Amino acid sequence: PPPLRPPPPFSPAPPPPPWIGISDPNLLNYLSRLQTSVSTEYAFNYFCARFPAHDGCRQQQQSQLQAQQPLPITLQPTIATTTISPIPLIQIPDSFQGVPSELRSRLKHLSFQMLDDKDKRKILKTCSRKINCFEQSETAAKKRVAVKRYEIALNKKIQPYAFDVERSVELRHLRTQQVKQAMLRRAGIGDKVIAADDGTFQDDILLTEPQSNWILNEINALDGRRKRDSLFFENAPTQKWPTGEPIKCYFDATLNSDDQEIVKRALRAIERNTCIRFEIVAERPRSQYIHYIKNPDTAFCGLSFIGRVEPVNPIYLSFLCVDLIGVTVHETMHALGINHQQLRADRDDYVKVQWDNINPQLYDYFAIADTSQFTSYGIAYDYYSIMHYNPFVGGVDANKPTIVPKRQPERFMKIIGQRKGLSDRDVELLRVMYCNPGCEDKVVYCGLWTLKGLCNARSPGSWMKQNCRRSCGFC
C-alpha cells in the first residue's frame, strides 16, 4: 500500500483579544462571561490555557488571583431514589442472516469479546496494587456533575415545558452506566470492577437511551440471555443525517465571536473535501440540527452524541484544550456518525492495548465498538485519523502508553491522537457515508470483508456484488 501521509493542518485559530489588566475591575466582568460558577483561579486558567503566550499570563498575576477566595464546587451524588426500569427487549437483527458460511468464517474480531486469561490478570493487577476498582474517583464524580449540569441546562432551554428534565437526564446516565458495567461483565471482570460513573461513554460520547438499550440487548444476546431476531440492520439506533441538504448548525449564546470562528473553521474543514454542507442559522430550529455550546470546564474538552439524534445534537466544547479546531472537528464527526478509530473491529491488527497500564474502570475506552452498528466501509485503518485516541489515554501511569502501534511504532506513537487536520481516510469515510446516495450495503460486515479482498473473490464475489455495493465500490 502507498505510504501514509500526514494530514494538512487546519488554518490557525483567531488571535486572542487584548489582555485586560489584572487590577482592572473589568476583568471580573470578562471572567463572568465565561458562564461558569467555579473559582476565579479556574477562570484565569481558562484564559491562559487558550492564550498562553499573553504577557498577562505570568506567575505573579496568577498568584494574585489565587489569593482571592474561590467559589466552591459541590459534588452531588447520584440520586439515590431514582429507580431505573428494566431493560426493554429489542429485536436485534441477525447480521449473518443469508450470509454465505465462507464469509462468516472470515470474521474473527467482533465486539464485546471476553478478555483472555492473560490480559484479564494484567488488568486486574491494577485493582489490587494501584487503585480501588470499587470506588468512584473524584475525577469521575466531578465530570458526572458537570455533564449532568450542562445537559439539564440545555434541555430546559430547548424544552422549557418538559416535565422532570432532571430525572430524564439522570435515568439516561444510569443506563449508560449499565452499559459500561455490562461490558465489564462480558469481558469477565464485572465482579471485580465498577465502571467510572462519569455520565459519558468512551470519554467524550453521550449515549441516548435507545442506543444504551441496543448495546445492552446485544451483550445479553452474546451472553445467551436472549435470542436474536431477524430484522434489517437499518433499524439500528445510530442514524446518519439526510443527504442532499445542509445540516443546520446553531451557536449558543455562550459562544463569543472567537469561539464561533473556531467552529466555522472546523465546519469548513469538513466541507472542503466532501459533499457535506453546513448551514449556520441565527434562530434555533425545532429539530434536526447541531447545537454548539461552550462549557468552560476542565472535566472534558468536548462531548457529543454519536449519529443524528432527536430533537437536537448538542456538541459541548470547553474551549480550554489545545487544537481547538481539531477538537471541534472530532466532536462534529461523532455527530455525523463516526466512532473512534482504535475501537474498530480490526484494531488488534494495528495497535496493541497495554492492558497492564489500563485503568480497569475505563474499560469502555478500549472495548471494540459494536460491530452491529459501525462499519469501516472498506476503508483501511488509519493512524493519522482525527478520530484516533492518543497513546496515553486511560492509563494508570501517565508516563506509559496504553495504545502502541504495531507498525512503525516509533513513528506512529508521535502521530496517533493528532488533532491537527483531517486525514485522507477521514475524508474518504465521510464521502463514502454521505456522498453517494442510493449506494448501500445490505450487511454491516461488508467493510470487513472488503478489507480482506473478498469483493472480487471467485466464490463469494457474486454475493458481495449484490450485497456490499457501497464498501466494494460497485456503485
Pairing of strands 278-281, 205-206: unpaired
- Let me know if 331 is a catalytic residue: yes
The two counts, helices (H) then strands (E), for the chain are 15, 8
| DSSP for residue 104 | H
Q: Which of 151, 170, 218, 331 is catalytic?
A: 331
Q: Which three cell numbers stand for residue 214?
A: 441496543
334 labelled binding-site residue: yes
| DSSP for residue 194 | -
Q: Which residue has the cell 485522507?
A: 424
Specify whether the CB–CB gap between 291 and 250 falls below 8 A. Answer: yes
Name the residue among 92, 211, 101, 99 with its Cα closest to residue 443: 99
291 labelled binding-site residue: no
330 labelled binding-site residue: yes
Specify whether the CB–CB gap between 143 and 199 falls below 8 A. Answer: yes
Is omega for the bond preceding 311 within 30 degrees of 0, making it cis? yes
Q: Which residue has the cell 440520586?
A: 79
Q: Which three cell numbers stand for residue 202?
A: 468512551
Q: Which three cell numbers stand for residue 162?
A: 418538559
Q: What is the DSSP string of 46-96?
A: HHHHH-TT-TT--HHHHHHHHTSPPPP-PPPPP-TT---PPPPP-----TT
Active site residues: 331
Annotated binding site: 330, 334, 340
Annotated binding site for Zn(2+): 330, 334, 340
